[in-house]
A and B are shown apart, each in its own frame.
Chain A
């Protein structure tokens, strides 16, 4: 298996632009997580899905952020409009289920820079 695939690997955009990050989980995995990593706040959970349904979005910083999982093989994290403080590495992770944190596989991340 190719693992969790995220795209793009790097994204540079200007403040106010819309940004869409993409994630393809490992086939057969029921859980999908979006995490954000910054120097100031460390690793934070933004949202997670179970069987394509959002379960906990309490970590989504504000209405500018939205996440979708239209099917079992694809998820997006959208920021509109983007701001410089959104600059971070965004990780997607997937898990086969039951106790998802016991077998959590992270993607390579998307490095987002908002100028």
Chain B
């Protein structure tokens, strides 16, 4: 069974500072996804990482993937209040025709002034 572990599960951020969320997974997949969920809302796709060494950036968020270490990181630069949300990483098996996504438990981020 594919396992996905995120840490920390809760992250209190101070505005203007930098933070990192880690996502470890148990399979050899090179397909990893990051999602954002606001309270009571649906999931919004943030990044799709499809190869070792992949790096994607959008605004203050940057995601990277190290398939050899089976690790992805989501780096937040100069946190702002709008980034308060729960962030999920998810992995599929990496094999064709198997599109079951396994999600981490999520990291709930709160940004304070």
Contact = CB atoms under 8 A, between A and B. Distances in A.
Interface stretch (B40-48, B52-60, B66-74): B40-48
Interface of A: 31, 33, 35, 42-45, 48, 55-56, 58-59, 91, 93, 99-109
A90 to B, nearest CB: 11
A101 B92 contact: yes
Nearest to A43: B103
A19 B31 CA distance: 35
Interface residues of B, number: 22
Interface of B: 31, 33, 41-45, 48, 50, 88, 90, 92, 97-106
SS class of chain B's interface: helix, strand, loop or mixed? loop
Contacts of B104: 42
A101 B99 contact: yes
Nearest to B31: A101
Given A91-B43, A107-B42, A43 B99 contact: no
Given A101-B31, A108-B41, A109-B42, A56 B100 contact: yes
* Closest 5 pairs between A and B when the two form their complex, measured CB to CB: A43-B103, A106-B42, A106-B43, A45-B100, A108-B42
Contact of B100 (A59, A93, A103, A108): A59
Tell me which of B33, B99, B104 has the highest count of chain A C-beta atoms within 10 A of its own C-beta. Answer: B99
